[in-house]
């Protein structure tokens, strides 16, 4: 058994995979590529096939609208506050907190979009529906990108314990 899922980290992506990662980040307005796509990139042509199938639906704005509609209807649970004086004890100053907020916002955005995209993709596969039915529409994507976004650590660079935990959680 390997230490973790096989992936092509962003830092090692070249050629078509690099182009796909860049397009995904720009189209989804996210600062990182989720693990599922980094894993798809290891199978020749898989990431390109999936992205070609889901990109038009994403670009139409339908996924964004569905995610916002779902989010607006949720009754979010109350989270316990972390007292401000405790943050420095955790090694978190203002820059780290700002970075953490950007990372969490990016994960929330990416995961929301992926939930809809990949569910729709799976349903299309199950139904045997034609991909040609999906319109090729576009929507303006904000160009703002997260600043000082920390790099995603490749599974191969993680300790065995951390890689095992990520494997269990993925």
Going by pLDDT thresholds of 50, 70 and 90, the confidence category of residue 45 is very high
pLDDT for position 157: 83
Q: pLDDT per residue over 99-129, tens digit each?
A: 888 888 888 888 888 888 888 888 888 888 6
Report which of 110, 90, 85 is spatially closest to residue 24, judged by C-alpha positions: 110
Q: Where are the domains of the chain?
A: 10-74+83-149
Report residue 169's pLDDT band, with 50, 70 and 90 as the boundaries.
low
> If you average pLDDT over residues 46-61, what whole number do you get?
90
Interatomic CA distance for residues 9 and 110, integer angstroms: 17
Q: How many alpha carbons lie under 13 Å from residue 162 in its C-beta half-sphere?
A: 7
Find all residues with CB under 8 Å of 48, minimum gap 6, and list them: 16, 20
How high does pLDDT run on average in the chain?
A: 81
Q: Is the pLDDT of residue 14 over 90?
A: yes
pLDDT tens string 54-90 = 998 888 888 888 888 887 888 888 888 888 888 888 8
The number of helix segments (H) and strand segments (E) in the chain equals: 6, 0
- DSSP letter assigned to residue 79: -
Look-up: residue for tokens 């980094």?
Answer: 38
- Degrees, nearest 5: CA angle 160-32-48: 100
Flag whether pLDDT at 136 surpasses 50.
no
Show Cβ contacts of residue 135 under 8 Å, excluding neighbours closer than 6 positions. 56, 60
């Amino acid at each position: 058994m390997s230490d973790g899922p096989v992936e092509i980290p962003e830092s090692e992506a070249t050629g078509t995979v690099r182009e796909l990662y860049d397009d995904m980040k720009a189209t989804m307005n996210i600062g990182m590529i989720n693990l599922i796509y980094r894993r798809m990139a290891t199978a020749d042509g898989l990431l390109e096939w999936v992205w070609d199938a889901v990109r038009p639906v994403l670009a139409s704005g339908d996924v964004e609208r569905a995610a916002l509609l779902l989010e607006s209807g949720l009754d979010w649970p109350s989270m316990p506050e972390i007292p401000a004086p405790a943050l420095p004890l955790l090694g978190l100053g203002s820059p780290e907190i700002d970075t953490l907020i950007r990372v969490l916002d990016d994960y929330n955005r990416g995961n929301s979009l992926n939930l809809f995209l990949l569910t729709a993709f799976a349903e299309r596969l199950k139904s045997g529906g034609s991909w040609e039915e999906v319109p090729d529409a576009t929507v303006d994507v904000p160009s703002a990108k997260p600043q000082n976004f920390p790099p995603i650590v490749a599974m191969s660079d993680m300790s065995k314990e951390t890689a095992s935990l990520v494997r269990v959680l993925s």
